[in-house]
Amino acid sequence: MKRLIVAAALLLTVPFAWAGISEGIEYEALANPQPTDSGDKIEVLELFWYGCPHCYHLEPELNKWLETKPDDVVFIRMPAVLGPSWELYARAYYTAELLGVTDTIHPALFKRIHKDKKPQRNAAELKAFFIEQGVSESDFDNTFGSFAVVTKTNGAKQVRDKYGITGVPSLVVDGKYRTSAQQAGGNPQIIDVINQLIEMERAPAARAAAE
């Protein structure tokens, strides 16, 4: 009985949670919802490019949100590949991911490119950067050109078709809803839109629990 009361109370509050956002304005519903890898949790997917200054400036807002991210939400980063020149940085991200050094490489690479004004123009420069961050030369060589990195990067080339994005940063909630800082009205506002879209995804579950 207590569970039903809590679920019913949640249903009463949910409509107000996203009363301020509208489809076609702050967010878009994907024409073809995409499967997620988050199981029964709600997935928030960030599509980014290291060369994008807007992505760089969104990082502090995302990091603050991650500190209080709800337990039923999974956050995933995915480097978008919207052109040939984007592929190098996608491979850098997946190399870091497979080596388990994303927490070190991800912020450091953004800083190197945007704060230090030193874009990484080829694999040799990336290799030197990774070594500087404590990755061994052999680990970089064995991973950067690996089948796993190439496969993941090829998957990142499908973001335009899968999620309908034409620019970054874009965020997709549970494979159903897409938003961006431009749509939301700014970087702080995009976090609010994400939270409201998460509440939208919670509503059906709460409704089912109340029945």
At the topology level, CATH places domain 1-81+165-211 in Glutaredoxin (3.40.30)
Q: Which residues contact 106 (CB under 8 A, 6 or more apart)?
A: 77, 93, 96
Residue 11 has pLDDT above 70, yes or no: no
Distance CA 154, CA 178 (A): 21
**C-beta of residue 82 within 8 angstroms of C-beta of residue 163:** no
In this predicted model, what pLDDT tens digit does every residue of 54-103 receive, in sequence order?
999 999 999 999 999 999 999 999 999 999 999 999 999 999 999 999 99
The mean pLDDT of 121-143, rounded to a whole number, is 98
32-61 average pLDDT score:
96
Nearest to 94 by CA among 108, 80, 110: 80
pLDDT band at 206 (very low <50, low <70, confident <90, very high): low
The one-letter amino acid code at 55 reads C
Structural domain spans, the chain? 1-81+165-211, 84-156
Question: Are 1-81+165-211 and 84-156 the same fold in CATH?
Answer: yes
Is the predicted pLDDT of residue 17 greater than 50, yes or no? no
| 34 CB-near residues (< 8 Å, 6+ apart) | 162, 163, 172, 175
Class of domain 84-156: alpha beta
Could you give the CA distance from residue 101 to residue 93 in angstroms, rounded to a whole number?
10
The pLDDT score that the predictor gives to residue 16 is 40
Question: What is the rounded average pLDDT for all residues in the chain?
Answer: 90
Instruction: Please report the sign of the dihedral spanned by the C-alpha atoms of residue 103, residue 105, residue 109, residue 111.
Output: positive
Percent of the chain with pLDDT over 70: 87
* pLDDT of residue 10 exceeding 80: no
Residue 19's pLDDT is what?
A: 54
